[in-house]
């Protein structure tokens, strides 16, 4: 017999890590963030750099690779890395304070600048990295379902889910609008300034379109029984991969070890 549509919309994952129950993934994300902050307080060298954040970041590609999503994650991480790099450079060269460490011509690196540059940029890489892992291995509808299951109000869950969907759609629409602007003779390619000039006019139709649509969207939902009281049916159900307990235990263990290590460093 052919599969029913209800069967076809379910998500089956073979990879045990990628298939983790969303709430366990969220636990991993939270604990990873906690660990990142703890590790960020460990300073090395004469100017107190948070160097541990650099090897700690290796966890991300390992996690992504073992979830079978390295390719997708690397693509998203590249954008994060660019932002982190800009922050690193700006902070390093522009923030004054403390001892001047190096000087080349008019550029100089100060103690305080270098310190915040390293901790901030790697903090960003780590935290954004773990979220990239979460979102690249979890589909929107899994997150939505997990939110509702966690007892979140259905209205709040709707806002969250539709926002996730909208991000995809808006980025699609912005491409369409960019192309339309290009057709009208607006330059959209070239250096940063040219792009910025093209970017802002394209925002107007983008946002306007989203706002105008929202009124009828509300009524559409209303017409589909969105605000009806009582139990709702869910055709899509979350699955467990079987590795939940192990993964949660491992995440908790690592966090405890890191915190214990940090305390030990203080005491010793």
Partner 1 sequence: MGAVIECKNVTYSYPLAKEPAIKDLSLEIERGKFYGVVGENGSGKTTFCALLRGFAPSFYKGELKGEVLVEGKKTTDYGGELSAKIGYVFQNPFTQISGVKDTVFEEVAYGLENFGIPAEEIERRVVEVMQMTDIEALAMKSPFDLSGGQMQRVALASVIVLEPDILIIDEPTSQLDPEGTESVFAIIKTLKEKQKTIILVEHKIDLIAEYADEVLVFKDGQVIAAGDKRKILSDMSLLEKGASLPQVAVLGSMLKERGLPLSEIPVTEKQAIEVIARALEERKKQ
| Interacting residues toward partner 1 by CB under 8 A | 4-6, 8-9, 139-141, 144, 158, 161-162, 165-166, 168-169, 172, 213-236
- Residue 41 and residue 52: Cα distance in Å, rounded? 9
- Residue 166 and residue 180: Cα distance in Å, rounded? 20
Question: Which of 8/46 has CB closer to partner 1?
Answer: 8
- Residue 63 and residue 236: Cα distance in Å, rounded? 27
Q: Closest distance between partner 1 and the C-beta of residue 21, in Å? A: 20
Q: Closest distance between partner 1 and the C-beta of residue 55, in Å? A: 38
Q: Closest distance between partner 1 and the C-beta of residue 216, in Å? A: 4
Question: Which of 70/170 has CB closer to partner 1?
Answer: 170
Q: Closest distance between partner 1 and the C-beta of residue 139, in Å? A: 8
Cβ neighbours of 207 (radius 10 Å): 11
Q: How far is the CA of 16 from the CAs of 12, 21, 67, 178, in angstroms?
A: 10, 10, 7, 40
Q: Closest distance between partner 1 and the C-beta of residue 171, in Å? A: 12
| Strand partners of residue 104 | 107
Question: Which of 140/188 has CB closer to partner 1?
Answer: 140
Cα torsion angle, 134, 138, 139, 142, sign:
negative
Question: Which of 99/216 has CB closer to partner 1?
Answer: 216
Question: Which of 34/166 has CB closer to partner 1?
Answer: 166
Cβ neighbours of 170 (radius 10 Å): 16
């Amino acid at each position: 017999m052919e599969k029913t549509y209800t069967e076809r919309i379910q998500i089956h994952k073979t990879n045990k890590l990628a298939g983790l129950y969303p709430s366990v993934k969220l636990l991993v994300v939270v604990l990873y963030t906690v660990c990142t902050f703890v590790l960020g307080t460990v300073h090395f060298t004469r100017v107190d750099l948070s160097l541990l954040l650099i090897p700690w970041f290796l966890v991300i590609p390992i996690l992504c690779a073992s979830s079978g999503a390295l390719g997708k994650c690397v693509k998203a991480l590249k954008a994060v890395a660019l932002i982190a790099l800009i922050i690193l450079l700006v902070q390093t060269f522009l923030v004054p304070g403390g001892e001047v460490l190096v000087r080349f011509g008019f550029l100089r690196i100060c103690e305080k600048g270098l310190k915040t540059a390293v901790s901030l940029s790697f903090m960003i890489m780590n935290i954004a990295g773990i979220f990239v892992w979460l979102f690249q291995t979890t589909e929107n509808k899994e997150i939505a379902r997990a939110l509702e299951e966690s007892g979140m109000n259905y209205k709040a869950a709707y806002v969250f889910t539709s926002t996730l969907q909208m991000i995809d759609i808006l980025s699609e629409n912005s491409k369409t609008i960019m192309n339309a602007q290009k057709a009208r003779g607006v330059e959209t390619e070239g250096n940063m300034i040219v792009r910025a000039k093209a970017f802002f006019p394209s925002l107007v139709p983008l946002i306007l379109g989203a706002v105008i649509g929202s009124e009828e969207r509300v009524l559409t939902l209303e017409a589909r029984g969105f605000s009806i009281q009582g139990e709702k049916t869910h055709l899509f159900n979350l699955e467990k991969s079987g590795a939940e307990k192990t993964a949660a235990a491992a995440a908790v263990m690592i966090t405890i070890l890191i915190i214990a290590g940090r305390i030990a460093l203080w005491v010793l």
